Structure 1
Amino acid sequence: MTSPPTVVVLDYGSGNVHSAVRALERVGADVLLTGDPKAALAADGLFVPGVGNFHACMRGLRQADGARLIDVRLAGGRPVLGVCVGMQVLFDGSSEPFSGPPEEGLGEWPGLVERLPAEVVPHMGWSTVKPGADTRLFAGVEDERFYFVHSYAAQQWSLYPVGTFAVVAPVVTWSTHGTDFVAAVENGPLCATQFHPEKSGDAGAQLLENWVRSL
């Protein structure tokens, strides 16, 4: 009998992450909530949460050595899943106001996270998504709704494969609130969702199960 995949939920002071731990355990992962670098590097999957202000999350992530841990894992092809602001920090930066000096993002993907141009912000509640044709993350839940709570999002996507040795194009999933925005990305070992799968009922559980099974 094979042992379940191990997942570290990275604990760097970003809000209540226990719902993520429970959701991952329900879909069969062996889950550890920790900021320990050795555990984060050794786990089959790394789950990066994020709530609140982009710059505060990014500051906390750097202080916890999270930026390096994510880089090292991705360099070795080790899976990482970012959620909500944990997705936003993967871009170059954010236009979100902050009381201190703004923080740069991790720059895994080009572009800025910007405020949604909608009459009602934050975007809070259940919304449909439009997954890319080659999605694996959304297998079985392509037409379902997912739970969003956010005011900022990446509204453009500009990372495309170029050149003779180009890698496979990322699978980008979109949703709409005031404008189209990036709801999820599948980019080799790096995946992320703007919505909260751990708060998205059966659909979110299936998405997390799809990710855990891929580890």
Structure 2
Amino acid sequence: VDPLQPEQCCQLIRRGLLAGDGSRTLTPEQWRELRQVFSSGCCLPLFASLLLDEARRWRSHTAVSAERLARTVWQAIWKLFDQLERIHGSALVTSCLACLTAARSGGLSEAELEDLLSLDNRALAEVFAHHLPPLVRIPPLCWARLRADLGHRLVEREADGSAVLAWHHRQFREAAASRYLQADGGASAARVHSAMADYFMG
């Protein structure tokens, strides 16, 4: 996809904000910082879409500086990952996104993903830090909240006759692989692939 012009990126964000309740906008200072980022950095539609997601979380009193905003698609994706880890917990997000990224058949069904998360001791320890239920399994609500915050970054497609979830864009898959599968000199990838192999072999 060809890059947009800086003003086209701002128009995309303006339309995206209005698509919510119809009255959402940004302050003149926030628009100025966004224009500065687009004028000096990336103008790809995916980048503008990621900044739109960030702008939706701003309030009128939110201080925004161009220096703190992402300048590339990967920086924006990593900022999204940082936010998901703060909200949902590092271990849960790491386990979930590592499994989605490592899946060989194009993705994982929601049932498979919940099963794999329930086999991850680190994710379970994080979720049940204050209470251990009789059945130790990732609560469906934990995955539902994370799924909602990932939003349209995941798409549903068909693989081997089943509906599976997968990344909607190659850059998300590559960024997630770099962050969640290449840590520890590749040990993370080996651990995830081993757990998934054990699961699918029964």
> TM-score interval w.r.t. the shorter chain?
under 0.3
Structure holding more helix per residue: 2
TM-score, normalized by length of structure 1? 0.21
Structure holding more strand per residue: 1
Q: Computing the radius of gyration over CA atoms, which structure comes out larger, 1 or 2? A: 2
- Structure with bigger RCO (C-alpha 8 Å, 6+ apart): 1
TM-score, normalized by length of structure 2? 0.22
